[in-house]
């Protein structure tokens, strides 16, 4: 009876997690995906006074007004459908302007600096668990839930039980006070369980495809978008000594670690550095892209580790955390240097390095080198 097992697991988990004071009003951030839909379903059973809120981030991404393919992100319709199916009041909140200034503009700037940004990290810390949460709070909402796979131990941010789906990486920059009135109903569940519930309950989002890593690009390819926003200029690909070995289509199209196709070379090469000032890319052979040392700039408000500590770290959300040591902690410039035990693949400037002490996410920041 897999279904009843799923249900028991979920219910037990809820009972344990939410023994809180009487909650007057709960808001669930609905994205239109299956995770937030199941979160709403689970919480609705527990809290009668619950609302579902969709935060509208999307602008037309510069598309002309009469282009009917935009302005109707599928998520909105799916979210509304889900709320209506569960008979929960549904609201849409407009964050288009804020999304543009706090996520989109820095996203483009980061690429222009030769970096590879993590817009989801910004979205969570600058919008979702900031202005969005504040707005809900101002309206009397006392508990805020999202469909993230992450756990909370008090205000500590921890990994989700389903490590393959763990999304704590994307939440590292959220100030921990923000989690005081937050629940992640899926923290103890696997994606499989979540899907099962969605199917069993016939939730409209049950069959929705996995949300993309970069929701900004839901409507077009990264290449197309960057071309529009940055005016990509072709340039040279060089080797470590500066010799020209090929052409690139615009440095913003590249990420450290990305393979580059070069005609007439036997060995595949990978981007090791991006030089925006010169519009050049340095490519090297695979083994030279691995690094042991990584530096990142952190925000002290969300950094809870000390020099010399032996921890684990990861540089990509999907990566398995690897053992590392905090070699140097510069508290003046807020730069942390970690040394991995085993070399890690392609630290990409702009991406986030995130460190864990056991299950707890105890710091992170943007990779600078």
Angle of the 2-17 helix axis to the 191-200 helix axis, nearest 10: 110
* Residue 212 β-bridge partners: none
Catalytic residue, chosen from 120, 215, 324, 336, is: 215
Q: Which is nearer to another protein, 113 or 137 (CB)?
A: 137
Q: Give dist(CA 151, CA 130) in Å, integer.
A: 19
Q: Is 240 in the site for another protein (CB under 8 A)?
A: no
Q: Is 81 in the site for another protein (CB under 8 A)?
A: no
CB of 330 to another protein, least distance (A): 33
Max Cα separation, the chain?
Answer: 69
Q: Are 361 and 317 in contact (CB under 8 A)?
A: no
Per CB under 8 A, the list member of 92, 268, 288, 301 interacting with another protein is: 92
Q: Which is nearer to another protein, 133 or 317 (CB)?
A: 133
Number of residues that bind another protein (CB under 8 A): 16
Q: Smallest Cα–Cα separation from 273: which of 116, 121, 120?
A: 116
Q: Is 51 in the site for another protein (CB under 8 A)?
A: yes
Please list the alpha-helical segments (H only) found in the chain: 2-17, 34-46, 74-85, 96-99, 105-112, 119-122, 133-138, 191-200, 222-230
Q: Is 47 in the site for another protein (CB under 8 A)?
A: no
Site string for another protein, 161-190 (x = CB under 8 A): ------------------------------
Q: Give dist(CA 60, CA 139) in Å, integer.
A: 28
Whether 215 is catalytic is yes
Q: If residue 273 lies in a helix (H) or strand (E), which one and from where to where? A: strand 269-275
Q: Is 91 in the site for another protein (CB under 8 A)?
A: yes
Q: Is 135 in the site for another protein (CB under 8 A)?
A: yes
Q: Is 100 in the site for another protein (CB under 8 A)?
A: no
Q: Is 143 in the site for another protein (CB under 8 A)?
A: no
Per CB under 8 A, the list member of 9, 14, 71, 93 interacting with another protein is: 93
């Amino acid at each position: 009876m897999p279904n009843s097992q799923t249900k028991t697991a979920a219910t037990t988990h809820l009972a344990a997690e939410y023994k809180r004071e009487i909650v007057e009003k709960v808001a669930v951030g609905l994205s239109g995906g299956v995770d937030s839909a199941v979160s709403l379903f689970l919480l609705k059973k527990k809290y009668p006074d619950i609302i579902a809120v969709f935060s509208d981030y999307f602008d037309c991404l510069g598309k002309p007004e009469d282009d009917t393919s935009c302005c109707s992100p599928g998520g909105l319709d799916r979210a509304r459908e889900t709320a209506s199916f569960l008979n929960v009041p549904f609201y849409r909140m407009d964050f288009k302007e804020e999304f543009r200034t706090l996520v989109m503009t820095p996203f483009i700037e980061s690429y222009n600096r030769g970096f590879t940004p993590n817009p989801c990290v910004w979205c969570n810390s600058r919008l979702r668990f900031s202005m969005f949460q504040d707005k809900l709070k101002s309206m009397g909402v006392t508990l805020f839930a999202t469909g993230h796979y992450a756990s909370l131990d008090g205000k500590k941010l921890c990994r989700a039980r389903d490590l393959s789906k763990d999304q704590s990486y994307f939440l590292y920059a959220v100030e921990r006070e923000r989690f005081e009135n937050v629940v992640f109903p899926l923290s103890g569940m696997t994606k499989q369980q979540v899907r099962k519930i969605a199917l069993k309950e016939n939730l409209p989002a049950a069959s929705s495809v996995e949300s993309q890593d970069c929701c900004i690009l839901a409507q077009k390819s990264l290449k197309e978008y960057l071309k529009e926003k940055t005016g990509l200029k072709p340039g040279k690909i060089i080797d470590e000594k500066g010799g020209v070995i090929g052409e690139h289509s615009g440095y913003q199209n590249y990420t450290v670690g990305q393979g580059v196709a070069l005609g007439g070379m036997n060995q595949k090469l990978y981007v090791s550095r991006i030089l925006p000032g010169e519009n050049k890319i340095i490519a090297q052979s695979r083994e030279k892209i691995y690094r042991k040392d990584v530096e990142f700039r952190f925000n002290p408000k969300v950094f809870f580790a000390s020099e010399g500590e032996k921890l684990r770290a990861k540089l990509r959300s999907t990566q398995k955390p690897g053992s590392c040591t905090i070699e140097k902690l510069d508290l003046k410039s807020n730069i942390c240097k970690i040394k991995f035990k085993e070399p890690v693949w392609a630290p990409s400037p702009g991406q986030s390095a995130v460190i864990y002490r056991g299950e707890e996410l105890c710091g992170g920041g943007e990779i600078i080198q």
